[in-house]
Amino acid sequence: MQFSRQLLMRCLLVVLVMLVAGCASKYPQVTSDQLQSAQDFDYIIGPGDELNIFVWGNEELTVSVPVRPDGKITTRLVEDIQASGKTPTQLARDVEKAYSEYVKNAVVTVIVDEFVGVPNQQVRVIGEAAVPLTVPFRKHMTLLDLMIEVGGLTEFADGNKSVLIRNIDGEQQVYNVRLEDLVQDGDISANVALMPGDIMIIPEAWF
């Protein structure tokens, strides 16, 4: 059953990439000054993140914990604290409140050590990337940063027919991006700023 589901997803992915290859020329070209980055970006903790919880003056309470699939963490004093969906600062205040029963005037700092993030703050790469990935968005992240993350294009990629799918005010917008010009020719004008939730689809070239 699981194998059949995986096969179906792969077939759907192939169809999606083929549709992109056929329609890419219909989408508007985009340049670096047309797509702006997220100016006020606060990282939101998600399941799978690894957090360092520092309790100042109480080293025995300082701990590194994973965010569980249910979005909660377990510390040495409190079994269940909701972490997913919060910024590190918000979680720090919640831990301080939870610890107030045990520690007087607790001062807590939360640092995200390993990033996964929530789905709407991830950037996805589908198709002919060397290593297709889902990566957490970083402030001021660009298309070039993303291509470095995924190891560039495969030899079969039609990079200049790639598309960037972005949700803007609840509506899906599709842009043509010139990955081949950027990655292989070093044309920096093809580099654009990314946003949380962006999806990059790289089609295969048809000879």
| Intrachain domains 2-40+119-202 and 50-114 with the same fold | no
- Averaged pLDDT of the chain: 85
Mean pLDDT of 38-55: 88
- 112 alpha-carbon distance from chain centroid: 14
3-class DSSP assignment, residue 5: helix
- Dihedral sign of CA atoms 128, 129, 130, 134 in order: negative
Looking at residue 118, its pLDDT comes to 86
Model confidence band, residue 36 (pLDDT cutoffs 50, 70, 90):
low
pLDDT digits (tens, 9 = 90+) for 145-185: 999 999 999 999 999 999 999 988 888 889 999 999 999 99
Asked whether the beta carbons of 42 and 136 are under 8 A apart, the reply is: no
Global pTM reads 0.73
What local confidence, expressed as pLDDT, does residue 91 receive?
98
E strand or H helix at 26, and its extent?
A: none
Q: Is the pLDDT of residue 47 over 90?
A: yes
Res 39 pLDDT > 50:
yes
DSSP state string for 146-199: HHHHTTSB-TTB-GGGEEEEEEETTEEEEEEE-HHHHHTT--GGG--B--TT-E
Q: How many CB atoms lie within 10 A of CB 176?
A: 18
Residues found in the chain: 207
- Residue ranges of the domains in the chain? 2-40+119-202, 50-114
Q: What is the pLDDT of residue 167?
A: 87
In whole angstroms, what is the distance from residue 149 CA to residue 138 CA? 12
One-letter identity of residue 52: N
- For the structural domain made of 50-114, what CATH number should be given? 3.30.1950.10
Q: Which residues pair with 114 in a beta bridge?
A: 50
Question: Greater confidence, 148 or 205?
Answer: 148
pLDDT the model gives residue 9: 44
Name the phi and psi angles at 180, rounded to 5. Answer: -65, -45
Higher-pLDDT residue of 135, 7: 135
Under a CB-based contact definition with an 8 Å cutoff, are residues 135 and 46 in contact?
Answer: no
Q: How far apart are CA 177 and CA 200, in angstroms?
A: 9
Helix (H/G/I), strand (E/B), else coil: 55: strand
Q: What percent of the chain has pLDDT over 90?
A: 63
CATH classification (class only), 2-40+119-202: alpha beta
Query: Measuring CA to CA, which residue among 51, 45, 135, 121 is closest to residue 85?
Result: 45
